[in-house]
Structure 1
Amino acid sequence: MTGLVCGDTVLTDDDLRERIAAAGAAGVDTPGRAVPIRATDRVDALVTALAVRAAGGVPLVGDDRWDGAYWAALKDRVDAAAPAPGMAWGTFTSGSTGTPRVVLRTEESWSASFPAVERLTGLTAADVVYLPSPLVSSVTMFSVAHARACGATVVLPRTHSVSAADLANATVLHGTPYALRDILERIESGSAHRLRVALVGGARLDPRLRARAEAAGIAVVSYYGAAELSFVATDADGSGLRPFDGVEIRVVDGVLWVRSGYFAGGYLGDVDGPFRRTADGWGTVGDLAADGPIPLRLRGRGDGAILTAAATVVPEDVEAALLGIDGIADAVVFALPHERAGDLVAAVIEPAAGRRPPTAGELRARVGTLLTGTHRPRRWFWVDRLPRTAAGKPAREQIRQGAIEGRVARVV
C-alpha cells in the first residue's frame, strides 16, 4: 500500500515506517519536547516530524521559504521553551499579522474529529489525499495525521505550486480556497484529474469558486475553524456554515464562542495570544459573528476592526462586498493612517486572471451600490497576486506595510 508520494518519491507504508524508525529519537530528549524542523526536502521534513511524534515529542515544522535569520530566532525561542507533557502536535499560527505563535495540542484533539471529517468527505483507505499547502500549515499536518490513521495515501506537492502531475491521481483535496482556485485553473485548461471532493478552509470561500468546482465534478465542503479551536462549522452545499459535529456555538456581544473536544492545549512558552477559555469549557479567538440563528455569519476578527468617521468597520465585511465586483479575484481591506483624518479604509485588490484592474472611478461607482459611506475604501491599491502566508491566507501586515510605504501600485 502506498503511504506517501512527493514528485518522483513513492514510499509504501513499510518504506515510510522504516524511514521513521531509522530517524530514531530525532532530537527528543524529554516527552513533550517541541522539536523545530525545517528542510527543503519535504519528504525528509515529514519523516523527521513523524519520527519526533513516534518518540513522544512535539514536531514543529517550519517553512523552508522563511529567511534564515527569522527561522533561527524562532528556533531559539522553541528550543528555550519547557517541555509540554501530554502534547502531541505543534503548528505555527499563520503569521498573517505578525510573528507566528506556536499552538500545541493533544493527539485526541485532532483524532476525535476524524470520524466527522470522514462522514463529510467519504474519506477511506482507498483515497489519495492531495495536500498542496506546505507542512508548516496545520491544514496539512492535520490531514497527514488523519490519512495515516485511516490508511489513505498522502500526496505532497513537488514544489510550492500546484502540479498537473499531482492532480492525475489525487481523489481528495484538503487545502485553501487559493489552492482550489489554482487547481481549477489547471483543470479548466485541460489538466486531467480524479478529484471527487475538496475540503476547503483557512479563508472565506467565494461562492463562484464553489460553482466552478462543482462544474468540474468536485464536491466542496468548506469550513471555518482556527488553529486554536480546530473545526468549528462546515458548509457542504453552499447554504451556509453549520456547527461541526460535537461543536456548540454561541455569540456574546458580537464575539463568537465555541465549546468542543477539539481545542488546542494552548501556546508554547510564555506567550500571550487571542485564545481564551472559560471555566465551563467555552473558548474564543476573538472572531466576530452576527447575532441570530444558524447559519453562522462570520464578520472577521475584532482586533482588525477599523475605527473611522465614528464608525467601526470590519474589514471582512468590506472584502466580501468587493468580491461581488466583476474583475476582482480577491481583496484585503485595512486601516491606512492619514495625518488629518486618522485612519482611512483602504483596499488592495487582486484582479481576476488576465484582467486589468478596474479604475478608481469604476471602483467608486460599484462600491457606492454595495457599501455605506463609512465602509467604502478611500484609497485603492492593486497587485497581480496578493502575498500569502504559508497557510494560504493573505499576509495582511505585509500587504498593509507595502501600501503605507509606497511599494504597492495605486489604482488610478
Structure 2
Amino acid sequence: MSEATDRLAARMAALGQAGRHRAERRPTLGQIALDLRDADPMREVVRQGDTRLTRADMVDRALRLAGGLDRLGLTPGAAIAFQLPNWWEATIINLAAALTGYRVVPLLPIYRRAELTAILPTCGVEAIFIPPAGKVDYPGLVASLATPPKHVITVRGDGPLTFDALMDGPPAAPRLPDSRDAKLIIFTSGSTGAPKGVIHTHDSLDAVVRHAGRFWSLGDEDVLYVPSPIGHIGGSIYAFEFPWITGCRTVLEDQWDAERAVSRIAAEGATFMAGATPFLTALLSACRSSGTALPSLRRFICGGASVPPDLVRDALRAWPQAIVSRAYGSTEIPLACPGIRDRAAAEDHTDTDGELAVDHRLDDGEILLRGPQMFPGYLDPAHDAGAFTEDGFFRMGDLARIVEDRFVVITGRRKDIIIRKGENISPLEIENALLTHPHVDAVAVVGTPEPERGEMVVAFVVGNGPFGFDDMTRHLTAAGLARQKFPERLEHVEALPMNAVGKVQKPDLRKRAAELVAGTDGSL
C-alpha cells in the first residue's frame, strides 16, 4: 500500500474510535449490485446519450475495469479520481471501486491546476480518468502538475492509456470492502475557504439514499434526470447510488441546455429532477416557451443557492402534478432536508428549506445536525476542530429558524453575517427582498470593511431593466426592511460568480467590494 493509503486507513481507524459512524451496517453497493445482477440482469440502470446499461452490463464492465487497474499495480484502498462530464463511464468507475475496494475521488470539470495540486496529492490519487483534449486540455493540465498521478487514463479519446484498453483483459474477482471503509472522498466547493476533503463511507452514503428515497417514495417506476455534475455530492449520489439502492433508472445529461432538458424529460418519462436555482429558472422558462407542463415530472428539489420563494411558487403553478420545494444539506450531511413530502405542504411552505429529516437543534441561531447520513470526519483531522459538538452534532455554519417543529428556514451563513454599527445584518434577508423586484434577476449581498460603520453593505445585482440606487431604496422601504439593512452601494454586473452547482462565490464578491470601496478596479 502507498503512504497515502496507509494514512487514510489510520484515519478511518481513528474515526471509528471516535464513534462517528452513525449509519447502521448494511451490504455495500458492490454487494447490492451483485445480488441485483443475479436477480434481474437485464434491468436497465443508466442511460446517457445512446448508451443503455443494464445491471449485467455494468457489473461485467466494472469488474473488467477493476482487472485493468489491478494490472497497473493498484491495490485495494488505493484512491482513483475522475474529472469527467456526466458520462456513463463514470458510473463504471464508481462501481468498479465499490466491487473491489478502491476509493473514488470525484473532481469537478471546472477544477484547474490550483485545485488539482491541492487535492490529488492530499488523497494520494494513484490513477485519474480524464477526457481527451478539447476546449480544456485535460491531459496537458494533469501533465503540468508538480506531482501528477502515476496513471492517467483517457476516456473517449486516444492516449498512452485509455479507458477501453484498460478493460481489454480478464476481470477482477469481487473483493468487497468493509461497509465502514471510506468509499468516497469529495471536496467541498471552498466557498468559505480552502476546500476540505469530506470522507463518506459505504454506510453513510447508503443511509443518504435510503432516507431520501423513502421520503420521496422512489421506486422501480421512477426515472431520475441528472444534469447536476457528478463531481459534486448531489450529482454523484443521483448517478451512482440511487439506481442500485432504490431501483429507479438514471438518465445522465452531460451538457445542460434547458430546451434539451424539456425534450429529454418528456422522452424518458422522467419523474424526478434536482438542481440549483439556475437550473429551475431555465427549465421553467423553457417549459413556458414550449407550452408544456412536464406531465411525467412528479418532484423537483432545488438547493445549493438562494432559492426565492416566488420561484418555487411559479414552478408549482407551472407543474400542477409535481411537488416542488427547496431542499437543504451539505457535502457533509447530504439531503438533511430532502424537500417537502406532499404538494399541499409544499404550497403552504414555499418560504422554507424543507422538512428536517435528521436530529437537529439550534445553538445561538446556528443549526446543528446529526444523523446516519452524516460523514464521519474530514480527511485532514485538523478540519474536525470545532466542527462537531461533544455529543456528535455537526455545526452546519448556517443560521436558521425552525417552523412548526418540522420545517427549517435558513436565514444566512454565520460567516456571511454583516456587522454594521454593531448590528447583525443577514444578507439573505436583503437578497430575498430584492429578488421580488421585477427588474432583478439575481442578487448577492456582501459586507466589506469600512472604518466608520465597521462594514458597508454592498449589493451586486443582475438586472433586466432600470434599477438604480433610488429604485432599490424605495423597493426595500416598501418591503418593510429596517433602514439600517439597506445597502450603501449598488453594483450592476452581467453575472454573479458561481461554481458548477450554482452556488454564488461570495469570496470573489467580497474581494471586488473591498476594491470598489478602496477605489481600485474591482472587476470580477
Provide the residue aligned with 1:325 in structure 2.
437
Q: Which has the higher strand share?
A: 1
Deviation of 1:121 (Å): 2.5
Are the structure 2 counterparts of residues 95 and 262 from structure 1 closer, same or farther at C-alpha, using a change threshold of 3 Å?
Answer: same
- 1:284-316 deviation line (CA, Å, top 9, x unaligned): 122212377533332222122222222122222
- 1:304-331 deviation line (CA, Å, top 9, x unaligned): 2222222122222222222232322322
- Counterpart CA distance in 2 for 1:256 and 1:76 is 33
Instruction: After TM superposition, list the pairs within 5 Å mapping 1:25-64 onto structure 2.
Output: 26=69, 29=74, 31-40=76-85, 42-64=87-109
Q: Percent identity?
A: 25
Provide the residue aligned with 1:368 in structure 2.
477
Provide the residue aligned with 1:103 in structure 2.
198
Provide the residue aligned with 1:20 in structure 2.
62
Provide the residue aligned with 2:366 in structure 1.
255
Provide the residue aligned with 1:90 in structure 2.
185
Judge which range, 169-178 or 229-238, deviates more: 229-238
Provide the residue aligned with 1:166 in structure 2.
264
Secondary structure at the aligned position of 1:95 is classed as coil
Whether the 8 Å CA contact 1:138–1:227 is kept in 2: the answer is: yes
Deviation of 1:340 (Å): 5.2
Provide the residue aligned with 1:139 in structure 2.
234
Secondary structure at the aligned position of 1:208 is classed as helix
Equivalent position amino acid for 2:249 in 1: T
1:150 and 2:260 matched: no
- Counterpart CA distance in 1 for 2:401 and 2:114 is 42
Secondary structure at the aligned position of 2:336 is classed as strand
Query: How high is the TM-score relative to the length of structure 2?
Result: 0.70
- Counterpart CA distance in 2 for 1:179 and 1:274 is 35
1:182 and 2:282 matched: yes
Are the structure 2 counterparts of residues 117 and 229 from structure 1 closer, same or farther at C-alpha, using a change threshold of 3 Å?
Answer: closer
Are the structure 2 counterparts of residues 125 and 211 from structure 1 closer, same or farther at C-alpha, using a change threshold of 3 Å?
Answer: same
Whether the 8 Å CA contact 2:85–2:229 is kept in 1: the answer is: no
Query: How high is the TM-score relative to the length of structure 1?
Result: 0.87
- Counterpart CA distance in 2 for 1:154 and 1:47 is 14
1:128 and 2:223 matched: yes
Provide the residue aligned with 2:44 in structure 1.
2
Instruction: Select 2:333's aligned residue among 224, 229, 237.
Output: 229
- Counterpart CA distance in 1 for 2:436 and 2:192 is 25
1:308 and 2:420 matched: yes
1:381 and 2:485 matched: no
Deviation of 1:341 (Å): 4.5
Deviation of 1:403 (Å): 4.3
1:213 and 2:315 matched: yes
Are the structure 2 counterparts of residues 3 and 293 from structure 1 closer, same or farther at C-alpha, using a change threshold of 3 Å?
Answer: closer
Equivalent position amino acid for 2:227 in 1: P
Are the structure 2 counterparts of residues 154 and 242 from structure 1 closer, same or farther at C-alpha, using a change threshold of 3 Å?
Answer: closer
Whether the 8 Å CA contact 1:305–1:313 is kept in 2: the answer is: yes
Deviation of 1:357 (Å): 5.0
Whether the 8 Å CA contact 2:353–2:410 is kept in 1: the answer is: no
- 1:73-117 deviation line (CA, Å, top 9, x unaligned): 321222189xx9712222221222333212111222232243442
Provide the residue aligned with 2:408 in structure 1.
296
- Counterpart CA distance in 1 for 2:438 and 2:86 is 40
- Counterpart CA distance in 2 for 1:41 and 1:104 is 22
Deviation of 1:200 (Å): 2.4
Aligned residues: 404
Are the structure 2 counterparts of residues 8 and 357 from structure 1 closer, same or farther at C-alpha, using a change threshold of 3 Å?
Answer: farther
- 1:208-245 deviation line (CA, Å, top 9, x unaligned): 22222222323214221122122333434142456434
Secondary structure at the aligned position of 2:124 is classed as helix
- Counterpart CA distance in 2 for 1:231 and 1:16 is 27
- Counterpart CA distance in 1 for 2:457 and 2:426 is 10
Are the structure 2 counterparts of residues 222 and 98 from structure 1 closer, same or farther at C-alpha, using a change threshold of 3 Å?
Answer: same
Deviation of 1:198 (Å): 0.9
Instruction: After TM superposition, list the pairs within 5 Å mapping 1:380-399 onto structure 2.
Output: 380-399=490-509
Larger radius of gyration: 2
Deviation of 1:24 (Å): 0.7
Are the structure 2 counterparts of residues 273 and 280 from structure 1 closer, same or farther at C-alpha, using a change threshold of 3 Å?
Answer: closer
- Counterpart CA distance in 1 for 2:238 and 2:314 is 24
Provide the residue aligned with 1:280 in structure 2.
391
Whether the 8 Å CA contact 2:80–2:104 is kept in 1: the answer is: yes
CA RMSD of aligned residues (A): 2.9
Whether the 8 Å CA contact 1:333–1:345 is kept in 2: the answer is: yes
Whether the 8 Å CA contact 1:124–1:150 is kept in 2: the answer is: yes
Judge which range, 303-312 or 70-79, deviates more: 70-79
Deviation of 1:347 (Å): 1.3
- Counterpart CA distance in 1 for 2:300 and 2:495 is 23
Equivalent position amino acid for 1:9 in 2: T
1:77 and 2:122 matched: yes
Equivalent position amino acid for 2:368 in 1: W
Judge which range, 176-185 or 115-124, deviates more: 115-124
Equivalent position amino acid for 1:107 in 2: H
Whether the 8 Å CA contact 1:101–1:271 is kept in 2: the answer is: no
Are the structure 2 counterparts of residues 230 and 32 from structure 1 closer, same or farther at C-alpha, using a change threshold of 3 Å?
Answer: farther
Whether the 8 Å CA contact 2:213–2:246 is kept in 1: the answer is: no
Whether the 8 Å CA contact 2:186–2:199 is kept in 1: the answer is: yes
Equivalent position amino acid for 1:368 in 2: T
